Amino acid sequence: MKLDSTNGDTKPSGSFTEGGGAADDDDVLVPPLNFAVVDNGIFRSGFPEPANFGFLKSLHLRSVICLCPEPYPEPNSEFLKSHGIRLFQFGIDGCKEPFVNIPEDTIREALKVVLDVRNHPVLIHCKRGKHRTGCLVGCLRRLQRWCLSSVFDEYQRFAAAKARVSDQRFIELFDISCLKHYPLSFSCSRK
């Protein structure tokens, strides 16, 4: 704990560890926006910022799936390269309704990457970790045989007030039949 003595006050500075002791700011792990565990070895989030790199390093990622079409930022690319993390970029435009066009073939190809355990641990992200990421995770949940109401509950938890009926319709109508032969050995939901 650092004490501020500039004005005579004693204010704690920095953060605290689980044991209650002070920790340096360098020790603080900051997850990306909307970060969550999807399944064993699969994570989701919004676009990682440099402040999140320490947290991402702690995940020991092998792969990152970016669902944004823009070129990957140089600091992020350097971070991935320096840690031997493979980038899979599937550019899906972040369009607003009513002109949402989620390409089914792109989601299918991204799912193949997610389903391949050689890519695990993997982080799936888009800009905010809501719509594009929500669609990909929703389609994964369908493969895991989740009921639609649970899939939509999860989607809405991340999208919140910005939930899109068109995304949920996409998830519901997505054809999973061509992916059913892929093993779900990573999944705790596999029977």
Count helices and strands in the chain by DSSP H and E runs: 6, 9
Question: For tokens 């435009």, what's the residue?
Answer: 93
Q: What is the pLDDT of residue 97?
A: 56
> Which is nearest to 67 in space by CA: 4, 18, 110?
110
The whole-angstrom separation of Cα 65 and Cα 131 is: 14
Mean pLDDT of the chain: 81
Backbone angles phi, psi at 146, to 5 degrees: -70, 150
Give catalytic residue positions: 126
Q: What is the pLDDT of residue 186?
A: 60
CATH 3.40.50.300 fits 29-172, yes or no: no
Please say whether the dihedral angle defined by the alpha carbons of residues 85, 91, 94 and 97, taken in this order, is positive or negative.
negative
> pTM higher than 0.85, yes or no?
no
Compute the half-sphere exposure of residue 102: CA atoms within 13 Å on the CB side of its CA.
28
Taking residue 110's Cβ as centre, other Cβ atoms within 10 Å add up to: 25
Q: Is 34:58 a contact under the CB 8 Å cutoff?
A: no
**Identity at 165, one-letter amino acid code:** V
Q: Which residues pair with 39 in a beta bridge?
A: 42
Question: For tokens 């809405």, what's the residue?
Answer: 156
Where do runs of H (alpha helix) occur along 60-179?
74-82, 104-115, 131-143, 148-159, 165-173
- 86's enclosing H/E stretch is strand 86-89
Q: What is the pLDDT of residue 95?
A: 67
Who's near 65: CB < 8 A, 6+ residues apart? 88, 89, 90, 110, 113, 114, 122, 123, 124, 125, 136
Q: Cα torsion at 182, 184, 185, 191 (round to 10°)?
A: -120
The pLDDT of 135-140, averaged and rounded, is: 93
What's the pLDDT tens digit per position in 20-45? 444 455 678 999 999 999 999 999 99
What's the pLDDT tens digit per position in 90-131? 987 766 555 557 788 899 999 999 999 999 999 999 988 778
Question: Residues in the chain, how many?
Answer: 191
